Amino acid sequence: MSMADNDWYSTLTSPSRTASIAILVLGIWVLLLTIVNLVNGAYYGEKALWLGFISNGSFGDIYTQHDGISIVLDDIVFGILGSILMAGGIMGIGSAFEGGIGGWIKDLPNSFSGLYSTEGGARKSVADWLIVLGLVFYFGWSIQNNAWIDPGVFAVSITPFAFGVGLNLLDSAES
- Digit-coded pLDDT (tens) for 140-170: 999 998 888 888 898 999 999 999 999 988 9
Predicted confidence at residue 129, as pLDDT, reads: 94
119: pLDDT strictly greater than 90: no
Query: Where does the pLDDT of residue 117 fall: very low under 50, low under 70, confident under 90, or very high at 90 and above?
Result: confident
- What pTM value is reported for the model? 0.82
34 in Cβ contact with 46 (< 8 Å): no
Predicted confidence at residue 11, as pLDDT, reads: 65
Range list of β-strands (E), the chain? 46-48, 63-65
Question: Where are the domains positioned within the chain?
Answer: 1-106, 112-175
With residues binned 3-state (H G I as helix, E B as strand, rest as coil), the percentages for the chain, rounded to 5, are 70, 5, 25
